[in-house]
Amino acid sequence: MVDAVFQIQGGYALVMLTQNSLIGVRDPFGIRPLVIGKLGNSYVLASETCALDIIGAKFVRDVENGEIILIENDKLESIKPYPPKKVRPCVFEYIYFARPDSILDGKTAYEHRKNIGVELAKENDIEADIVVPVPDSGNAAALGFAQHLKINYEHGLIRNHYVGRTFIEPSQKIRSLGVKLKLNANQTTIKDKRIILIDDSLVRGTTSHKIVKMLYDAGAKEVHVKIACPEIRYPDFYGVDTPTKKELLAANKTNDEICEYIGAKSLKFLSLEGLYQAIGFDKRNDTYPQLTDHYFTGDYPVKPIDQLGDNKITQLSLLSTASNN
């Protein structure tokens, strides 16, 4: 088992079931999450704590980075075959991936996202009448933002919950249709209002462009867009289907150009320092655990190789860099 795991490189959380055992493995940097729960005398492995809640299991702890969990006959054994590394969980678990009620570092993802909104508010320089989230992913950040600045929080966009996430829809045509089906402006709430519109991220910009236009068409006086994370300039190669670099708006346009493209009055992204502060880390202090934040910085804990010009990987091979050991 250990020999097999040593041949895997990248970000992963694995769960395997044999006739007599349950095995869980988390990558050496802890990029992808994996948790241990207990239901009666039996152990449970899941990617998020909310999965434990559904079946009535109790959260025990996170699987540590680089740890192998072997469960046999209701007994748990921990194996740590890797040299110690600083844990670097994926920053987007805090921003977007994890369900709001899942626990990350002792707090729910919802609480982390509210804190992100507070930090975004501290960096705000715009006066507005109301704060409107892009539902549902922007809700918590917008609430934290509004509460910190004491601006009215309003549901200016109403979401149809029968439509999936546009961020990971497979084609541009489906994403564009998804925006129209998923959201509709709450006209009487936003008419003649100066709006601060808050979303968790801006990737291709297509969704933001359509939402801003929707708000103006419904009578908004001004629309100022605030993004609750820094500019996404680099793709992910650790199992998440994100766009290539040439498709990422912030990798190819300046802030002013992005603002013009989405049609907003103004546009501001949360600083990287503000994001770290909100989650409870300090980017300026190397003694703190760092996050896997390559989306913003290009700092991949496990360096991708064999890339095409558009930054798609041609092989699954990845190479650990000595500086990250």
Average pLDDT over residues 278-304: 82
pLDDT at position 126 over 50: yes
What pLDDT shows up at residue 306?
54
Strands (E), the chain: 13-17, 21-26, 35-39, 42-46, 58-62, 68-72, 75-79, 103-104, 107-108, 130-133, 152-153, 157-159, 183-185, 194-199, 222-227, 266-269, 302-304, 318-320
Q: pTM of the predicted model, to two decimals?
A: 0.86
pLDDT at position 20 over 60: yes
Question: 199 forms bridges with which residues in the sheet?
Answer: 227
List Cβ neighbours of 154 (8 Å cut-off, separation of 6 or more). Answer: 130, 131, 132, 186, 189, 190
d(C-alpha 267, C-alpha 261), whole Å: 11
Average pLDDT over residues 283-312: 73
Q: Tens digit of pLDDT for each residue in 152-168?
A: 999 999 988 766 555 54
Q: What is the DSSP string of 126-151?
A: ---SEEEE-TTTTHHHHHHHHHHHT-
Q: Which residue has the tokens 């390559």?
A: 294
| 237 DSSP assignment | -
d(C-alpha 86, C-alpha 77), whole Å: 22
Instruction: Given CATH 3.40.50.300, say whether it is the number of domain 112-279.
Output: no
pLDDT at position 186 over 50: yes
Average pLDDT over residues 266-279: 96
Average confidence score pLDDT of the chain: 88
Give the number of other Cβ atoms within 10 Å of residue 42's Cβ.
11
pLDDT at position 325 over 50: no
Average pLDDT over residues 110-114: 98
Q: Tens digit of pLDDT for each residue in 72-105?
A: 998 999 999 998 888 999 999 999 999 999 999 9
What pLDDT shows up at residue 161?
73
- Domain layout of the chain by residue ranges: 2-79, 112-279
